[in-house]
Structure 1
Amino acid sequence: MALLKLTIPVLAGLTVIYWCLTMWFRAGERQRLEARWERDRPPLPQHTYVRNGIRDYDAGLRRRLVLGVYVVPIACLAVLIYAINAT
């Protein structure tokens, strides 16, 4: 029961962090794509160029964020709990 009391708030907090980081990184990438469009002036309209760039960026971003926000902290917490209980 104690593990459940710990797990739910931790997952809720990590989910909030995940979504905040997703929005922040996407906003930065959107700005970079808009600046690149202004500089290079490709034949595509700006909104299409940015939308395609964000779609490509999201695939790699999602994997990195899941690893960094969920897997690493949960693994560290599991190791910590194991080390405390094993000794």
Structure 2
Amino acid sequence: MFGLARLALFGFVVLTIVYFCLSWYSRAARRDKLEAEWDREDMTGDREAFVDEGLREYDGSLRRKLIWGVYIIPVSAVIALIYFMNFH
């Protein structure tokens, strides 16, 4: 029982680190794309406002929600593995 609790705690810590790194990387990549779009199309006005608006749209996007798969997929796999190893 303590082994399972230790696995769950260690797994949660590792998955949280992976989640934050992936989230940070994805947001930085989106920011770079928005800045490149601004430069490529020679837009006028406030560049930061354009980038901030694009990042607000990104925050509600499907891609942002799919990053939660970092928690869902490994936990589901471990649960399925434990179930099939013990009950089948």
Shift in Å, 1:26: 1.0
Q: State, as a whole percentage, how many aligned pairs show the same letter.
A: 34
Over the aligned positions, Cα root-mean-square deviation in angstroms equals 1.4
Name the one with the larger helix percent: 1
- In 2, Cα distance between the equivalents of 1:59 and 1:80? 33
Look up the equivalent residue of 2:11 and give its one-letter code: V
Structure 1 unaligned spans of 5+: none
- In 1, Cα distance between the equivalents of 2:37 and 2:30? 10
Look up the equivalent residue of 1:65 and give its one-letter code: I
1:22-77 Cα deviation digits (max 9, x unpaired): 111111111100010112234441111111111111222431111x2011111011
Q: State the TM-score, normalized to the length of structure 1.
A: 0.88
Look up the equivalent residue of 1:82 and give its one-letter code: Y
Look up the equivalent residue of 2:42 and give its one-letter code: R
Structure 2 unaligned spans of 5+: none
Q: State the TM-score, normalized to the length of structure 2.
A: 0.88
Q: How many residues align?
A: 86
Aligned to 1:47: 48
Q: How does 1:26-65 map to 2 (within 5 A)?
A: 26-60=27-61, 61-65=63-67
